[in-house]
């Protein structure tokens, strides 16, 4: 823009806060946690010694932890699927409305998301309670007879994740679908495609990038969820995030906690790589 | 609204919207329900609000939360604005690295880098507490703020800055008189958003707060853990009103200021 | 004669692999209206931005009023610019936009107010001081941009296609206005445009650029009548070109043997030697159709343009010929056989 080498230097300095910060408080800590995952701790003295062993990773195979790892993945995948199942029809419905209604419906979806995360999760406790309103409703419909037995089970965690992450699924799908012109659907119908085939051959392919982005931004953070299992799992049903926290803050087995965190990063990296093909399209 | 054509999706949509709002309605109703066990409606009361507002843990927590949120917001904005300006003039590879780091900070489960930061602080014998929490919050908060400010810089006409320089403004003056006013809507929105996210956080705070005053979400969390008290509903509604107001202001700021600026930044194709 | 307002010596600029401006030498006379024209991507805007200090040249020297400003940043140069998009500050009103540069000079308040007022009168916008740029019409915005730059009393005013976004009628009006303003303030205007007609109507001198190379500099008439390259001949208006070779001198000009048309007389630059392959350029309005001499051609199409008619001709091996004849002259129709001719004074040789 402006002549002079001094200005070029000045422009470079603008990058310093971002890159300096990310290096010091993001990249270095991540490398450090990876290094510590190969260390060993004495649970008597809490001394950490580095002998570059894989014991921490082997320990993950211990059924106690392995079950949690599997449960985290299953819950995250299940909740992502749930979000997709509920979110796709909603996103599609919104995208087919006149612009003013679209905005109104989006506000309806987003405003609950604006409320405090803890409070929102706590609200689910109220809803799912054994003698709560949902139980009353289901009893009234003769779906169940006794109290509702969902709270403090993995199912409650799944419902909680779906509840908290649903808008994150709806928005990217909506953005993808909103671009589909009504005329395009009419054209497909005109060319002889029935409603089901229009959906399969036109709507779905065009929505794919949005679906991929939605799945990634729901699935990955959900895997490390801490608050939802803590509140809705009642301290019994745990996820990876809770075990990591316990290892760090209660047990003090930092190397093992680190190995768990690194595994979580690994699962995330694999997921990202697997969906890269779809998400890249969206980024453009 | 067009419903008949999309009966199935309309039905699902209705259920989902009810699902999203029902818990909040329950919280709101219970926050003014005078039955202390909340098993049935016993009439209207504001006791829980009064109790919540006089709870010393809540008040101390609120103060701590606001301090942390304000500091993290300020730091995030500095990072977001400088970073976005750097990004605007960066090459293709620089941009890609910058963007990857931004998305990574948003995508990575919070628990992972919260533990990583905890590790750094404890191994280097740095003190945990408010400062550490602010540093932790700023990791992801700065990423969100960057996304918003960056979008704005991308639509800022570089000719305006050229014009200012051409008229005799030094680089700093160009920033003060042209760039900064142009970015203002985004800075306001990013600031409010960062403040709210920080205000809402639990995981990072949990790891890095050490023995400093617990923040409001942590206080609520422990209240939940130690049995449900009707007070939580009142606090919940208060926090909700606060965050919704913040978000609404951010939202309007983006729309209002954004629309005005966008219209005036466009080429002179619409004479009166 | 006074020192040139701007002198450019060997200035070049490349972006990575792309050469935007080849080493360029140019002198712009003081108090003149000077245009740089060329197709998009020819380097004219880059040249202008280097003059403004918004781009740093890779080599060479730029002088303004005799002073070397090559390394001077934009904000310290005695040069101001009217930008293509006007670049009016959307968050400031008209008054504040015009006062922007004077405030950067830290002028006293009264002086700023006075000079802004004078400038608003000059561009006839008095009364619109409190309007925001987006509330103004395109023409008004253009005048604010002009006022904002002129109020600084620059040694040189740079204009980057300032009329590009306006409709035809408004353009014509503002062209006259710009030329008047330039005469009144007596400041050197350097005007960049891709529209040669616009440049011709206003300029004392015109520079034609193509692919980063300066092809020709001169008064509009000179550039039009005596183009020094084929590119200039084609870019500046329409041109009929006949390939041939110099067969010898003839009076003040030369004889050129043109295949399919015999020998024609034409003017040309000094020092052409016989046998050299050349192009003879004749403008359509200089082509006559009913000559006693000349070469035969068939009319292939006629389009009526009001004051004139445009006639396409086929002259066998010569390729298509374009002629512009008076609208009320002898009617010609498709298929007519005519004799094409032009006088030696209207034919120009390009080596």
Contact A185, A203 (CB under 8 A): yes
Label residue A283 by pLDDT band (50, 70, 90): very low
Q: What percent of chain A has pLDDT over 70?
A: 94
Residue C114 · residue C135 · CB < 8 Å = no
Q: How close does chain C come to B68, measured CA to CA in Å?
A: 33
Specify the DSSP element, H or E, that contains C297. Answer: strand C295-304
Q: Which residues of C touch B169 (CB under 8 A)?
A: 75, 100, 104
User: If you average pLDDT over every residue of chain C, what do you get?
Assistant: 88
Q: Among A12-21, B201-210, C260-269, C326-335, where is mean pLDDT lowest?
A: C326-335
- Per-residue pLDDT for A128 more than 90? no
Query: What's the pLDDT at C288?
Result: 83
User: Can you give chain B as a three-state secondary structure string?
Assistant: CCCHHHHHHHHHHHHHHHHHHHHHHHHHHHCCECCCCCCCCCCECCHHHHHHHHCHHHHHHHHHHHHHHHHHHHHHHHHHHHHHHHHHHCCHHHHHHHHHHHHHHHHCCHHHHHHHHHHHHHHCCCCCCHHHHHHHHHHHHHHHHHHHHHHHHHCCCHHHHHHHHHCCCCHHHHHHHHHHHHHHHHHHHHHHHHHHHHHHCCHHHHHHCCCCCCCHHHHHHHHHHCCCCHHHHHHHHHHHHHHHHHHHHHHHHHHHHHHHHHHHHCCCCCCC
Percent of chain B residues topping a pLDDT of 90: 43
Does an H or E element contain C28, and which?
strand C18-28
Confidence class for position B34, pLDDT limits 50, 70, 90: confident
Residues A2, C73: C-beta atoms closer than 8 Å: yes
Lowest mean pLDDT among A122-131, C181-190, C287-296, C298-307: C287-296
Q: Which of B93, B268, B270, B271 is the best residue to mutate to test the C interface, defined by the most C CB atoms within 10 Å of its own CB?
A: B268
Q: Above 60 in pLDDT, residue A109?
A: yes
pLDDT over threshold 50, residue C334 = yes
Model confidence band, residue C143 (pLDDT cutoffs 50, 70, 90): very high
ipTM of this predicted structure: 0.83
Contact B164 C89 (CB under 8 A): yes
Q: How many other C-beta atoms lie within 10 A of the C-beta of residue C328?
A: 9
Contact state of C149 with B166 under an 8 Å Cβ cutoff: yes
* The pLDDT value given to residue A2: 42
Strand partners, C14: C19
Contacts of B112 in chain A (CB under 8 A): 30, 33, 224, 244, 261, 264-265
The answer, for B257 touching chain C at a CB cutoff of 8 Å, is: no
Q: What is the pLDDT of residues C50-67, one digit of tens each?
A: 999 998 899 999 999 889
> What is residue B2's predicted lDDT score, i.e. its pLDDT?
66
Q: Are B252 and C81 in contact, with CB atoms under 8 Å apart? A: no
Q: Which residues of C touch A4 (CB under 8 A)?
A: 56, 71, 73
Nearest to A119 among B20, B142, B240 (CB): B240
Q: Are C44 and C20 in contact (CB under 8 A)?
A: no
pLDDT band at A4 (very low <50, low <70, confident <90, very high): low
DSSP for residue C56: -
Distance from CA of C210 to the nearest CA of B (A): 24
The reported pLDDT for the residue numbered A7 is 66
Would you say C191 and C203 are in contact if contact means Cβ atoms under 8 Å apart? yes
Res. C110 pLDDT band, cuts 50 70 90? very high
Q: Is the pLDDT of residue C268 over 60?
A: yes
Query: What is the pLDDT at residue C115?
Result: 95
Which residues, including other chains, have CB under 8 Å from residue C9's CB and lie 6 or more apart?
C25, C60, C61, C62, C63
Q: What are the φ and ψ backbone dihedral angles of A123, each rounded to 5 degrees?
A: -60, -35
Q: How does pLDDT run across B115-166, given as a tens digit for each residue? A: 999 999 998 889 999 999 999 999 999 999 999 899 888 878 889 999 999 9
Which DSSP string do the residues of C72-107 spell out, in sequence order? S-GGGSSEEEE-TT----TTS-HHHHHHHHHHHTT-
Chain C residues close to A9, C-beta within 8 Å: none
SS3 content of chain A, % helix, strand, coil (to 5): 75, 0, 20
Q: Which chains touch B (3 or more CB pairs under 8 A)?
A: A, C
Token look-up 């609950």 returns A112
**What's the pLDDT score for residue B258?**
54
| Span C69-95, average pLDDT | 91
- Choose among A119, C323, C300: nearest CA to B52: A119
- Name C6's bridge partners: C28, C64
Q: What distance in Å separates residue B3's CA from the closest CA in chain A? A: 8
Q: Is the dihedral of CA B121, B126, B127, B131 positive or negative?
A: negative
pLDDT of residue A5 exceeding 70:
no
Tell me which of A49-53, A77-81, B25-29 is least confident. Answer: A49-53
Between these two residues, B253 and C348, which has the higher pLDDT value?
A: C348
> Taking 70 as the threshold, does the pLDDT of residue B98 lie above it?
yes
CB burial readout A8-45, b (16+ within 10 A) else e:
eeebeebbebbbebbeebbbebbebbeebbbbbbeeee
**Residue at token pair 């197709």:** C39
Q: In this predicted structure, what is the pLDDT of residue A237?
A: 67
Please compute the mean of the pLDDT values over residues B49-67 and round it to a whole number. 91
Res B1: pLDDT? 60
> What is the average per-residue pLDDT within C300-318?
83
Q: Where residue A282 falls among pLDDT bands split at 50, 70, 90?
A: very low
* Residue with the two structure tokens 């419909």: A141
Q: What value does the mean pLDDT take over residues A236-253?
A: 86
Three-state DSSP class for residue C27: strand
pLDDT of residue B256: 65
Instruction: Categorize the per-residue pLDDT at B4 as very low, low, confident or very high, splitting at 50, 70 and 90.
Output: low
Place of tokens 């561009």: C123
**pLDDT tens-digit profile of B203-241?**
999 999 998 999 999 998 888 887 667 888 888 888 888
Residue A10 confidence (pLDDT) above 70 = yes
Q: How far apart are CA C96 and CA C88, in angstroms?
A: 10
Residue B262 pLDDT: 45
Residue B267 near chain C (CB below 8 Å): yes
Lowest mean pLDDT among A268-282, C124-138, C321-335: A268-282
Burial B34-58 (b: 16+ CB within 10 A, else e): eeeebeeeeeebeebbeebeebeeb
Percent of chain A surpassing pLDDT 90: 27
d(CA B144, CA A172): 16
> DSSP character for A152?
T
């Amino acid at each position: 823009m402006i002549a002079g080498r001094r200005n070029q230097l000045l422009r470079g300095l603008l990058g310093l806060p971002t890159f300096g910060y990310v290096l010091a408080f993001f990249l270095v800590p991540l490398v450090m946690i990876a290094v510590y995952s190969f260390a060993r701790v004495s649970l008597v003295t809490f001394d950490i010694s580095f002998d570059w062993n894989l014991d921490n990773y082997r320990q993950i195979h211990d059924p106690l932890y392995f079950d949690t790892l599997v449960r985290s993945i299953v819950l995250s995948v299940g909740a992502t699927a749930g979000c997709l199942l509920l979110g796709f029809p909603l996103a599609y419905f919104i995208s087919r409305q006149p612009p003013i209604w679209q905005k109104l419906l989006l506000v309806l979806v987003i405003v609950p998301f604006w409320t405090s995360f803890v409070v929102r999760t706590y609200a689910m406790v109220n809803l799912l309670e054994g003698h709560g309103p949902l139980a009353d409703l289901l009893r009234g419909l003769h779906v169940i007879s006794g109290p509702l037995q969902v709270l403090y089970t993995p199912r409650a965690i799944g419902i909680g994740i779906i509840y908290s992450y649903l808008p994150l699924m709806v928005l990217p799908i909506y953005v993808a679908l909103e671009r589909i012109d009504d005329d395009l659907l009419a054209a497909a119908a005109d060319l002889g495609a029935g409603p089901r085939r229009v959906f399969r051959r036109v709507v779905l392919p065009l929505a794919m990038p949005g679906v991929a982005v939605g799945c990634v931004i729901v699935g990955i953070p959900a895997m490390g969820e801490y608050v939802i299992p803590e509140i809705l799992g009642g301290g019994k049903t745990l996820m990876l995030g809770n075990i990591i926290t316990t290892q760090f803050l209660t047990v003090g087995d930092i190397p093992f906690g680190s190995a768990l965190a690194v595994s979580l990063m690994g699962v995330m990296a694999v997921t990202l790589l697997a969906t890269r093909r779809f998400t890249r399209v969206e980024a453009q | 609204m067009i419903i008949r054509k999309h009966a199935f999706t309309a039905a699902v949509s209705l259920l989902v919207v009810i699902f999203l709002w029902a818990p909040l309605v329950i919280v709101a109703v219970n926050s003014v329900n005078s039955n202390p066990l909340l098993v049935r409606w016993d009439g209207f009361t504001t006791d829980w609000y009064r109790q919540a507002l006089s709870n010393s843990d809540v008040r101390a927590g609120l103060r701590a939360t606001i301090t942390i949120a304000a500091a993290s917001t300020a730091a995030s904005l500095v990072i977001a604005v400088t970073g976005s300006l750097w990004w605007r003039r960066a090459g293709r590879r620089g941009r890609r690295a910058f963007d990857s780091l931004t998305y990574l900070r948003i995508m990575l489960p919070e628990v992972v880098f919260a533990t990583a930061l905890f590790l750094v602080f404890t191994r280097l014998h740095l003190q945990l507490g408010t400062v550490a929490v602010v540093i932790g919050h700023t990791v992801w908060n700065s990423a969100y703020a960057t996304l918003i400010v960056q979008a704005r810089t991308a639509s800022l006409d570089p000719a305006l800055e050229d014009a200012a320089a051409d008229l005799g403004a030094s680089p700093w003056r160009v920033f003060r008189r042209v760039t900064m006013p142009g970015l203002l809507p985004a800075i306001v929105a990013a600031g409010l958003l960062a403040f709210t996210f920080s205000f809402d956080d639990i995981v990072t705070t949990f790891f890095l707060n050490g023995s400093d005053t617990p923040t409001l979400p942590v206080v609520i969390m422990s209240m939940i853990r130690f049995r449900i008290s009707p007070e939580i509903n009142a606090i919940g509604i208060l926090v909700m009103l606060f965050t919704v107001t913040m978000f609404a202001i951010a939202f309007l700021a983006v729309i209002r200021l954004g629309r005005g600026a966008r219209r005036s930044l466009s080429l002179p194709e619409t004479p009166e | 004669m006074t020192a040139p307002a701007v002198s450019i010596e060997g200035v070049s600029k490349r972006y990575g692999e792309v050469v935007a401006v080849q080493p360029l030498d140019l002198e712009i006379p003081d108090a003149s209206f000077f245009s740089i024209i060329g197709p998009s991507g020819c380097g004219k805007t880059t040249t202008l931005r280097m003059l403004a200090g918004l781009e740093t040249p890779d080599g060479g020297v730029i002088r303004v009023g005799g002073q070397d400003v090559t390394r001077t940043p934009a904000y310290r140069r005695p040069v101001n610019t009217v930008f293509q998009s006007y670049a009016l500050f959307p968050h400031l009103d008209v008054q504040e936009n015009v006062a922007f540069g004077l405030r950067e000079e830290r002028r006293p308040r009264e002086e700023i107010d006075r000079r802004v007022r004078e400038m608003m009168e000059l561009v006839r916008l008095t009364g619109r001081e409190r309007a925001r740029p987006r509330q103004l019409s395109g023409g008004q915005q253009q005048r604010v941009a002009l006022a904002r730059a002129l109020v600084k009393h620059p040694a040189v005013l740079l204009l980057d296609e300032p009329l590009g976004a306006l409709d035809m009628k408004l353009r014509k009006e503002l062209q006259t206005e710009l030329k008047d303003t330039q005469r009144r303030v007596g400041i050197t205007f350097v005007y960049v445009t891709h529209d040669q007609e616009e440049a011709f109507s206003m300029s004392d001198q015109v520079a034609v650029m193509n692919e980063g190379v300066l092809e020709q500099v001169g008064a509009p008439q000179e550039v039009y009548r005596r183009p020094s390259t084929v590119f200039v001949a084609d870019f500046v208006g329409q041109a009929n070109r006949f390939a041939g070779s110099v067969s010898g001198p003839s009076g003040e000009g030369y004889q050129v043997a043109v295949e399919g048309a015999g020998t024609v007389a034409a003017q040309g630059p000094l020092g052409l030697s016989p046998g050299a392959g050349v192009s003879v350029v004749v403008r359509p309005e200089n082509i006559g159709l009913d000559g006693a001499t000349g070469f035969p051609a068939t009319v292939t199409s006629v389009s009526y343009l009001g004051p004139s008619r445009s006639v396409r001709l086929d002259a066998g091996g010569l390729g298509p010929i374009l002629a512009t004849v008076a609208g009320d002259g002898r009617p010609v129709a498709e298929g007519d056989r005519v004799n094409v001719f032009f006088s030696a004074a209207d034919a120009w040789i390009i080596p």
